[in-house]
C-alpha cells in the first residue's frame, strides 16, 4: 500500500504564460520519498532561480503622463477673451434675466484676420428667434490680442480703455 509522503509544486514562469507542475511522490519507504522530495525541491529551486525575472511579456502600465490640455484654436481664444469682458458678462446676465432664461448672448468671430486687416472681428449678439441682434462688435488684434470697441454710430474703433472711460456703464 502506498503512502502519500510528499507533495511538491513547482511553478514555472514562461515569457507569456505561467503554469505549474505538481508532483506527488508515493513510496513504501519514507527515506526514499524524502530523498526524492529533496531532489525535486532542489530542481524546483534551481528552475525558478534560473527564470528570467525581468517581467518580460507582462503588461505594465505606461508611465504616468502629465495631462495636456487640448490645443485651443486662435478663434476660440479670441472669443474667450471677449466673453470674459465684464461688460459682456453683465449684458449676458441682463438678457437672461429679462427673458427669464430663454435667451442669451452668443459671441462669435464674424471675420478672421486677412492680409489687409490684422484683426479678428468679433460680434456679441442675441438670437431673438428671427434674427441676430448685435450688442457689441470688437476688433481683436491677431498678434497682440489687444481689444478695440467698434463704434458703429461713428464707424470708428476705439481702445477698450477709452470706450470704458467715455461710455457710461448703463450704455455699455
pLDDT tens by residue, 19-74:
444 444 444 545 555 556 555 555 555 555 555 555 555 555 556 555 665 667 88
> Does residue 63 lie within any of the structural domains?
no
| CA–CA gap between residue 30 and residue 66 (Å, rounded) | 62
CB-based contacts of 118, cutoff 8 Å, min separation 6: 141, 142, 143
C-alpha cell at 166: 467715455
Query: Is residue 43 domain-shared with residue 118, that is, in the same domain?
Result: no
CB-based contacts of 124, cutoff 8 Å, min separation 6: 82, 88, 91, 105, 106, 107, 134, 135, 136, 137, 138
Query: Is residue 117 domain-shared with residue 32, that is, in the same domain?
Result: no
| CA–CA gap between residue 87 and residue 169 (Å, rounded) | 8
H/E run at residue 31: helix 30-49
> Does residue 117 lie within any of the structural domains?
yes
CA atoms within 13 A on the CB side of 18: 11
H/E run at residue 83: helix 74-83
Query: Is residue 166 domain-shared with residue 86, that is, in the same domain?
Result: yes
User: What does the pLDDT read at residue 115?
Assistant: 94
Query: Is residue 44 domain-shared with residue 81, that is, in the same domain?
Result: no
> Does residue 32 lie within any of the structural domains?
yes
Question: In the predicted model, what is the mean pLDDT of the chain?
Answer: 74
Q: How many domains does the chain have?
A: 2
Query: Is residue 90 domain-shared with residue 42, that is, in the same domain?
Result: no
Query: Is residue 33 domain-shared with residue 80, that is, in the same domain?
Result: no
C-alpha cell at 11: 511553478
| CA–CA gap between residue 156 and residue 148 (Å, rounded) | 10
> Does residue 21 lie within any of the structural domains?
yes
Which residue would you say has higher pLDDT here, 43 or 80?
80
Query: Is residue 42 domain-shared with residue 89, that is, in the same domain?
Result: no
Query: Is residue 110 domain-shared with residue 30, that is, in the same domain?
Result: no
Query: Is residue 133 domain-shared with residue 98, that is, in the same domain?
Result: yes
> Does residue 29 lie within any of the structural domains?
yes
CB 107 within 8 A of CB 82: yes
Query: Is residue 133 domain-shared with residue 85, that is, in the same domain?
Result: yes
> Does residue 122 lie within any of the structural domains?
yes
- Give the pairing of strands 132-141 and 18-27: unpaired
CB 48 within 8 A of CB 11: yes
User: What does the pLDDT read at residue 67?
Assistant: 60
Mean pLDDT value across residues 114-119: 94
Q: Which domain holds residue 30?
A: 3-49
> Does residue 115 lie within any of the structural domains?
yes
Query: Is residue 8 domain-shared with residue 45, that is, in the same domain?
Result: yes
Query: Is residue 88 domain-shared with residue 156, that is, in the same domain?
Result: yes
Amino acid at each position: 500500500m502506498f503512502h502519500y509522503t510528499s507533495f511538491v509544486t513547482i511553478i514555472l514562469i514562461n515569457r507569456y504564460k505561467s503554469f505549474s507542475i505538481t508532483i506527488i511522490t508515493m513510496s513504501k519507504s519514507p527515506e526514499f520519498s524524502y530523498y526524492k522530495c529533496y531532489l525535486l525541491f532542489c530542481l524546483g529551486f534551481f528552475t525558478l532561480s534560473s527564470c528570467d525575472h525581468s517581467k518580460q511579456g507582462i503588461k505594465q502600465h505606461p508611465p504616468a503622463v502629465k495631462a495636456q490640455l487640448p490645443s485651443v484654436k486662435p478663434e476660440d481664444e479670441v472669443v474667450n477673451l471677449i466673453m470674459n469682458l465684464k461688460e459682456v458678462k453683465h449684458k449676458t446676465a441682463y438678457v437672461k434675466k429679462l427673458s427669464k432664461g430663454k435667451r442669451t448672448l452668443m459671441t462669435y468671430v464674424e471675420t478672421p484676420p486677412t492680409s489687409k486687416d490684422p484683426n479678428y472681428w468679433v460680434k456679441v449678439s442675441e438670437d431673438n428667434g428671427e434674427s441676430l441682434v448685435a450688442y457689441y462688435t470688437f476688433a481683436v488684434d491677431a498678434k497682440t490680442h489687444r481689444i478695440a470697441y467698434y463704434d458703429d454710430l461713428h464707424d470708428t474703433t476705439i481702445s477698450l480703455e477709452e470706450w470704458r472711460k467715455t461710455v457710461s456703464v448703463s450704455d455699455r
